[in-house]
Amino acid sequence: MEIIVTNESDIAIIAIKGRLDAVTVPQLEEQLTRWFEQPGTKLIFDLDGLEYISSAGLRVFLTTAKKMKARDGKMGMARLRENVKDVFTISGFIALIPAFDTLGAAQEAVR
Amino acid sequence: MLVKQMPARVESLHELLTFIRVEAKKRGFSESALGRIELVAEEALVNVFVHGYADGQGDVEVRCLVSDDPALTIEIHDRGVSFDPLSLADPDVHADLTKRKIGGMGVFLIRKMTDAVAYRREGNTNILTMTFRNR
């Protein structure tokens, strides 16, 4: 798995590529722990390159959404592949984290 | 029957999933079905890794049952503490962000994404059986 963090003005974009599973999840958790050390309030996950997600990955999205809510921030995710979207839908998480077809739409929503 | 046994820890996950994927592929499952099988298998295996052995030491065995019908049946065996994952209540998937609990999702995904799932205890062994139909 590869994680790339970029910043566009005050919006942080975290792009995840590859597999987010029980093996790789600690990598993402580490990145997010670091991100939460600073006071940012706008966060987008770019999931265009995410091929696979299991409940271990979902757990990270839920804890992140809770933390963002706690700091009154805005969070979204963009460009989910069909299989990844299925997992978010079945778990009900799709109703908790706004999902967008394009990165632009996600940026617009958290702006 | 094809069997693969490995230590019940997360480091074994990818090798076990590859084993399952290869067997499922031989049976002609589509790429999206393979993803679903892999996900369910991960959830079942991780449950064993996390809850299976009190001292963290033990093996997990994956069996791919061979049959004439175009389905794949996978059994996950472990000799850990007696535990029926299907006894867990489903999480409330309609809860809002504040009320939504972390955890319980793995077993929920297993229920939702298999065509059949069953647990049994045989002697000192937990056996979870999961069947996927090839549509």
Predicted confidence (pLDDT) per residue in A60-103, tens digit:
999 999 999 999 999 999 999 999 999 999 999 999 999 999 99
The beta-carbon neighbor of B13 closest among A22, A65, A83 is: A22
Q: How far apart, in whole angstroms, are the C-alpha atoms of residue B5 and residue B20? A: 12
Query: Residue B94 and residue A92: Cβ atoms within 8 Å?
Result: yes
pLDDT band at A49 (very low <50, low <70, confident <90, very high): very high
Among all chains, which residue has been given the structure tokens 């006071």? A39
Whether residue A31 contacts residue A64, with contact meaning beta carbons closer than 8 Å, is answered with no
**Residues of chain A contacting B32 with CB distance shorter than 8 Å:** 82-83
pLDDT in tens, B56-100: 799 999 999 977 777 999 999 999 999 999 999 999 999 999 999
Domain boundaries, chain B: 2-133
In chain A, what residues touch B98 (CB-CB under 8 Å)?
66, 69
CATH 3.30.565.10 is right for the domain spanning B2-133:
yes
Answer whether A92 sits within 8 Å of B97, measured CB to CB.
Answer: no
**A85 vs A79: CA distance, rounded Å:** 9
Give the residue on B whose Cα is nearest the Cα of A61. B102
Q: For the sheet with B2-7, list strands across it.
A: B2-7, B59-65, B71-78, B125-133, B116-122
CA distances from B59 to B56, B77, B88, B108, B121 (A): 10, 9, 23, 24, 16
| All structural domains of chain A with their residue ranges | 2-110
Q: Decide: B78 and B61 in contact? Cβ < 8 Å.
A: yes
How far is it, in rounded angstroms, from Cα B15 to Cα A56?
18
**CA of A44 vs chain B CAs: smallest distance (Å):** 17
Angle between helices B105-113 and A82-90 (to 10 degrees): 110
Parallel, antiparallel, or unpaired for β B71-78 and B125-133?
antiparallel
- Which fold is adopted by the domain A2-110? Transcription Regulator spoIIAA (3.30.750)
Residue B96 DSSP one-character state = -
Angle formed at CA B50 by CA A15 and CA B77, multiple of 5 degrees:
115
pTM, two decimals, is 0.95
